[in-house]
Amino acid sequence: MNSDDKQTRRFGRFMVFSAWILMAMMLTVLFSKILSRQQNPNQSVQTTIASDGSREVVLERNRSGHYLANGTINGLSVEFLLDTGATNISVPQRIANRLGLRRGPAVRTRTASGVVITYATRLDSVTLGEVSASGVAANINPHMPGDQILLGMSFLRRFDLLQQGDRLTIRSPARRSR
């Protein structure tokens, strides 16, 4: 075997190895997107507007049985975990810092983990699709891990909620004509 044949074989093995590495990378990206979509099937929340002017958002439950959805607080993108058992919106301290939220008075808050000290705050705007509210009560929770914000009843009570199967419909009140 001459030198050119050895070089050609090495190059061929290198190309096969590179193709396998590239395929593994592509599969990793594909599966991470699939897993992300299963975790939060509401990454792009769509809104429908009824003839009476009300706005409606329909969310799908994730594989764990929860409703996660992307939205905004004060115009910045966040991920919500809907929690009808929470009185207020609960924001992890790390996310509150990113949003520039101000800590108000300390509040004793009962959570699933027990009683903790949180800090009252008020959100200028909270948006889920095109369903929004302003001046929403919230708590900054320094004990809360992760990046998800619990979307509690301080926001949700302003809307009609209808759960059917694996879907939750959030509907704004009809707009009155003037």
Q: What is the per-residue pLDDT for 178? A: 45
Which pLDDT does position 163 carry in this prediction?
93
Confidence class for position 34, pLDDT limits 50, 70, 90? low
State mean pLDDT over 92-98.
Answer: 96
Local confidence band at 33 (pLDDT 50, 70, 90 cut-offs): low
Query: Tokens 């395929």 label which residue?
Result: 23
pLDDT band at residue 5 under the 50/70/90 scheme: confident
Q: Which residues contact 128 (CB under 8 A, 6 or more apart)?
A: 45, 57, 69, 71, 80, 151, 155, 170
37-46, 69-78, 124-133: range with lowest mean pLDDT: 37-46
- pLDDT exceeds 90 at position 106: yes
Could you list the beta-strand ranges (E) of 8-159.
47-49, 55-60, 68-73, 76-82, 89-92, 106-111, 114-128, 131-141, 148-151
Q: What is the mean pLDDT of residues 9-37?
A: 71
Which of 93, 94, 101 has the alpha carbon at shortest distance from 118?
Answer: 93
Calculate ∠ Cα 18-23-28, nearest 5°.
125
Q: Which residue has the higher pLDDT, 10 or 37?
A: 10
Q: For the full predicted model, state whether its pTM sits above 0.85.
A: no
Distance CA 26, CA 30 (A): 6
The beta-carbon contacts of 101-105 under 8 Å, at least 24 apart in sequence, are 101/138, 101/140, 103/140
| Residues 152 and 141 sit within 8 Å (Cβ to Cβ) | no
Scan for tokens 């959805």, then name that residue.
69
DSSP 108: E
